Structure 1
Amino acid sequence: MTRWNALILAGSRDEIDPVARAAGAAHKALVEVGGEPMLARVIDAVKAAGAGRVAISSNDEDTGRLAALRGAEVLPAAEGPSESARSGFAALGSPMLLTTADHALLRPAWIESFIKDVPDDCDAAILLARRADIEAAVPGNKRTYLRFADGEWSGCNLFYLRGPSAARGLALWRSVERDRKRPWKIVARIGPRLLLAYLFGRLTLARALASLGGTAGLRVAAVPARDGLAAVDVDKPADLELVRALLRDGAA
């Protein structure tokens, strides 16, 4: 397997995060699950999966100290996650795995299988989980899904930037991330014909990604997750309760 580096987004906004507030922590990345901070679990997972250099993007001193103790570099966070990803990619180079500090259930096996399944002819890849797999893993979990002719999908906060040309996709990623709760706006970027196909349930995921990637001049691939749990992160206090319960019960 090609040697790769990893960037973990661990930035924060000026106001305290709802998850951090609910847990009584100063920073979301430092919220404990399963007896240790979420960030520590993510760093350990990417290192165990075989990452070369591991860096976090953060301006928080406590988070930086934790990262250093876990053997990770600290890069200054930029304004917004996409800009942090761009500067991190410039520092670490390609190929690079991109994930987030709130991916508290992250397993090395998920990363290994994701990278193994990335097609050779793509510039960037995103891990997506099928709705049926997510609901089988965590029944009743409420998520936002992208609905395509070939199924309903949700993101897993795992991206793989294969080569230098993947940098062109970070601006596209920023706009998609901004509208992730409004799937129709994401699809609208691919033009009226494909938008109509999406609205009538005729647009496939592969066709949508081909068109979106084309707007940035790169080839983007979707990789199906082998485990629905890979889509579970800690976006809100209810997610924190779910993740803690899963770890307590041994399901994760």
Structure 2
Amino acid sequence: MFDAQSPPGVTAIILAGSRPGPDPLLDGSGVSTKALLPVGGRPMLAHVLDTLSRHAAIGAIVILAQNVAGLRADPELAVWIDDPAIRFMESGAGISRSVLAAIDGPAALPVLLTTADNVLLSAAMIDSMIAGAAGCDIAVAMVERRILLARYPQSRRTWLKFRNGWWSGANLFWIGSDRARPMLERWQSVEQDRKKGMKIVGAFGPWLLGGALLRILTIQGAAARLGKRFGAQARIVAMPQAEACIDVDKPEDLVLVEQILAMRA
């Protein structure tokens, strides 16, 4: 359950755009954008909106996409079109720039950032992220490999290796204050390499890359040092839910997510 001590009125931002180039997930799907891909009989975005709109900590939702008109025209999303707490916003060039524009506009801080393909998002995950990120300027949710493989050994992820384990991103991010802005601006230069873990680590400083490669840093220690460099308090939130790092990036992900949704039902 939502802790009454958590920050009230958190703004959720959902990244619901499409990356350049062909997407094998959309072949034969009948939809033109990933956010509308049917999963469990409903568009991916509908699952995420359901979870966020029902959570007591979420005060407003901003949906960022290149094709806002296409999303608003989908009948499965009609229930949210006139909701005053939900706003559709055209995204710009690049994720970081679009998020910064949203923060400068309708998205009041603090912000919980997620993606339309985070179909398995649950209230428990939101609770874990808010509790773990409370009081910091920027936080990233991660899942340690043993947590995931204990439940879903067939799942393939991109892993970052540190002294205290192998970690994969969970598509949940916390922006707690404007002190996160320099790190978001730095992220713009590595967005296209999001699946090349060590290249991303190195882009934030050779000392961080060396610490990761030599395994002399824990991932939490690396985040703290990185934040200090940018004048912010940065934190890794270790998620206890294995499903937190399972999104829909590949056809095999879609199969696994469908199976998990069926088990939940």
Q: Same fold (TM over 0.5)?
A: yes
1:79 to 62, 72, 93: 93
Q: Where does structure 1 lack aligned partners over 5 or more consecutive residues?
A: none
Tell me if the contact between 1:105 and 1:230 (Cα under 8 Å) persists in the aligned partners. Answer: yes
Give 1:238 shift. 1.7
Judging changes above 3 Å, is the alpha-carbon distance between structure 1 residues 14 and 186 closer, same or farther for their aligned structure 2 residues?
closer
Provide the identity percentage: 38
Residue 120 of structure 2 aligns with which residue? 105
Residue 204 of structure 1 aligns with which residue? 218
Alpha-carbon displacement from aligned partner over 1:125-161 (angstroms, at most 9, x marks no partner): 1111110111122112111101000111100110111
Residue 3 of structure 2 aligns with which residue? none
| Alignment of 1:63 onto 2:54 | no
Give 1:22 shift. 5.0
| Alignment of 1:26 onto 2:32 | yes
Give the Cα separation in 2 of the matches to 1:53 and 1:167. 21
Give the Cα separation in 1 of the matches to 2:79 and 2:152. 33
Tell me if the contact between 1:9 and 1:84 (Cα under 8 Å) persists in the aligned partners. Answer: no
Give 1:87 shift. 1.1
Residue 50 of structure 2 aligns with which residue? 44
Alpha-carbon displacement from aligned partner over 1:46-89 (angstroms, at most 9, x marks no partner): 11223111110113212134556323211111112222211112
Q: How many residues are aligned here?
A: 250
1:1-252 equivalences in 2 (<5 Å): 1-2=6-7, 3-13=9-19, 15-50=21-56, 51-60=58-67, 61-66=69-74, 69-70=79-80, 71=83, 72-91=86-105, 92-120=107-135, 122-248=136-262, 250-251=263-264
Q: Where does structure 2 lack aligned partners over 5 or more consecutive residues?
A: 1-5
Tell me if the contact between 1:233 and 1:239 (Cα under 8 Å) persists in the aligned partners. Answer: yes
Give the Cα separation in 2 of the matches to 1:176 and 1:214. 20
Q: Give SS of 1:234's match.
A: coil
Give the Cα separation in 2 of the matches to 1:214 and 1:178. 25
Tell me if the contact between 1:133 and 1:228 (Cα under 8 Å) persists in the aligned partners. Answer: yes
Judging changes above 3 Å, is the alpha-carbon distance between structure 1 residues 29 and 99 closer, same or farther for their aligned structure 2 residues?
same
Read off the aligned partner of 1:222 and give its amino acid letter. I
Give the Cα separation in 2 of the matches to 1:167 and 1:191. 17
Judging changes above 3 Å, is the alpha-carbon distance between structure 1 residues 251 and 174 closer, same or farther for their aligned structure 2 residues?
farther
Give 1:207 shift. 2.4
Q: Give SS of 2:109's match.
A: coil
Give 1:198 shift. 2.1
Report the RMSD for the aligned CA atoms in angstroms.
2.0
Judging changes above 3 Å, is the alpha-carbon distance between structure 1 residues 113 and 58 closer, same or farther for their aligned structure 2 residues?
same
Judging changes above 3 Å, is the alpha-carbon distance between structure 1 residues 22 and 159 closer, same or farther for their aligned structure 2 residues?
farther
Query: What's the TM-score, normalizing by structure 2?
Result: 0.86
Give the Cα separation in 1 of the matches to 2:230 and 2:72. 33
Give the Cα separation in 1 of the matches to 2:21 and 2:208. 38
Q: Give SS of 2:62's match.
A: strand
Alpha-carbon displacement from aligned partner over 1:3-53 (angstroms, at most 9, x marks no partner): 211110111245443212253322110111122111011111111223111
Tell me if the contact between 1:125 and 1:161 (Cα under 8 Å) persists in the aligned partners. Answer: yes
Give 1:192 shift. 3.9
